[in-house]
């Protein structure tokens, strides 16, 4: 940017001094190149006209004898060239960025799809093996007297197997291969029910506050999917706050920039916010990766958020996350956007 005003001034001086019929194409090409350069240098669009005006003023001061009528014809041409090049380069840059974002998302979903297929395969085979373990353990257990050491060991095997079964169910849910029976589910009622369940299992020092902008919000889903979303997000929130603090859950119409003016809404936004430790950018980048966890071994399988991601996308929705690790507004907010079963009128 340093030499740009000077370079543009020289272009303007060149075209202003050109006599009628003199070729000014080289100056115009230079102005065009300058326009592209301004985009590379991240100069904002209104700066382009400022550069032109300042060069004009400088020209008027340097050459007071220059008659406007004599130069007016040529003076706007460098500005037009520079603005045109700026516009084109700006558009190319925006297209490139947009493409990069799309490619990143595509790569993320391909990666998740590949892991999903693998997880589903493993889960399926493992389920069969587990069936045999549970079946034989139960048979052995039936033959052992109550209260014996052998019986209690078998019970340990069965408890561990039940945890493994739970894990498999989550892997299958993530791979979107668990059977789902989509019905019309009122998210508001389902979230209230999930909160009641959570209150029994979370530490009493964790408060859950629910704010609903909608009385009802029907989506096509399996009710257990909504419960899984709420449970996973709230358990993570409680963990992030070290089991003490407030979790804020909101249900509101999903608002895009234009939809603020719309009378009907097409999606509902379910958000879960905590005032916990937040996430560093490198954690946030991997948060939906299956088996990614920062918790101690045995405390987290790293499947919770990949299950939530799988459900949100399976239902035709999306999930977004914002997080801060420090400051007044430290904490994390997950937003799950789900399409409503049929567009619903916005509340007054």
Ligand X SMILES: Nc1ncnc2c1ncn2[C@@H]1O[C@H](COP(=O)(O)OP(=O)(O)OP(=O)(O)O)[C@@H](O)[C@H]1O
Contact 253, 231 (CB under 8 A): no
Cβ of residue 225: shortest distance to ligand X, in angstroms? 16
Contact 202, 243 (CB under 8 A): yes
Closest to 216 measured CA to CA, from 249, 255, 251 = 251
Distance separating alpha carbons of residues 250 and 211, to the nearest angstrom? 5
168's tokens: 């498999």
* C-beta closer to ligand X: residue 84 or 160: 160
Query: Which ranges constitute the DSSP H helices of 176-294?
Result: 187-201, 223-240, 281-284
- Interaction residues for ligand X, span 270-299 (CB under 6 A): 274, 276-279, 283, 287, 292-295
Residue nearest to ligand X (CB): 304
Cβ of residue 294: shortest distance to Mg ion, in angstroms? 10
* C-beta closer to Mg ion: residue 222 or 239: 239
Helix (H) or strand (E) holding 79: helix 68-143
Other beta carbons within 10 Å of 131: 12
Closest to 316 measured CA to CA, from 213, 225, 235 = 225
Q: What DSSP line would sit under 186-201, residue for residue?
A: EHHHHHHHHHHHHHHH
Find the binder of Mg ion among 4, 74, 83, 236 (CB under 5 A).
236
- Interaction residues for Mg ion, span 279-318 (CB under 5 A): 304
Residue 277 interacts, among ligand X, Mg ion, none and using kind-specific CB cut-offs from 5 to 8 Å, with ligand X
Residue 224 interacts, among Mg ion, ligand X, none and using kind-specific CB cut-offs from 5 to 8 Å, with none
Residue 292 interacts, among ligand X, Mg ion, none and using kind-specific CB cut-offs from 5 to 8 Å, with ligand X
- Interaction residues for ligand X, span 205-234 (CB under 6 A): 232
Closest to 268 measured CA to CA, from 343, 180, 195 = 343
- Interaction residues for ligand X, span 296-315 (CB under 6 A): 300-306
Find the binder of ligand X among 237, 254, 270, 311 (CB under 6 A).
237
Residue 237 interacts, among Mg ion, ligand X, none and using kind-specific CB cut-offs from 5 to 8 Å, with ligand X
Q: What is the binding site for ligand X (CB under 6 A)?
A: 232, 236-237, 240, 274, 276-279, 283, 287, 292-295, 300-306, 332
């Amino acid at each position: 940017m340093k030499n740009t005003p000077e370079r543009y001034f020289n272009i303007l001086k060149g075209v202003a001094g050109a006599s009628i019929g003199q070729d000014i194409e080289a100056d115009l090409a230079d102005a065009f190149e300058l326009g592209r350069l301004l985009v590379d240098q991240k100069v904002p669009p209104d700066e382009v006209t400022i550069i032109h005006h300042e060069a004009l003023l400088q020209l008027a001061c340097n050459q007071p004898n220059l008659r406007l009528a004599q130069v007016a014809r040529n003076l706007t041409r460098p500005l037009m060239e520079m603005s045109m090049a700026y516009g084109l380069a700006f558009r190319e840059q925006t297209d490139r960025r947009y493409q990069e974002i799309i490619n990143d998302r595509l790569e993320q979903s391909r990666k998740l799809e590949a892991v999903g297929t693998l997880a589903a395969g493993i889960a399926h085979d493992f389920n069969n093996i587990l069936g045999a373990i549970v079946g034989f353990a139960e048979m052995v257990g039936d033959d052992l007297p109550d209260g014996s050491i052998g019986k209690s060991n078998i019970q340990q095997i069965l408890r561990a197997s039940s945890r493994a079964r739970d894990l498999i169910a989550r892997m299958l849910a993530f791979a979107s291969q668990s059977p789902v029976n989509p019905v019309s589910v009122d998210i508001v009622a389902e979230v209230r029910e999930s909160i009641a369940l959570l209150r029994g299992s979370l530490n009493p020092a964790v408060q859950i506050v629910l704010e609903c902008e909608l009385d009802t919000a029907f989506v096509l889903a399996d009710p257990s999917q909504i419960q899984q979303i709420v449970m996973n997000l709230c358990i993570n929130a409680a963990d992030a706050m070290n089991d003490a603090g407030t979790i804020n859950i909101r249900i509101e119409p999903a608002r895009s920039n234009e939809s603020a003016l719309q009378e009907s809404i097409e999606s509902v936004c379910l958000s879960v916010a905590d005032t916990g430790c937040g996430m560093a950018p490198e954690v946030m980048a991997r948060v939906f990766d299956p088996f990614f966890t920062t918790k101690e071994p045995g405390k987290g399988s790293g499947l919770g958020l990949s299950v939530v991601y799988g459900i949100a996308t399976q239902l035709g929705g999306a999930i977004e996350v914002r997080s801060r690790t420090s400051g007044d507004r430290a904490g994390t907010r997950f937003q799950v956007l789900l399409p409503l079963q049929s567009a619903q009128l916005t509340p007054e």
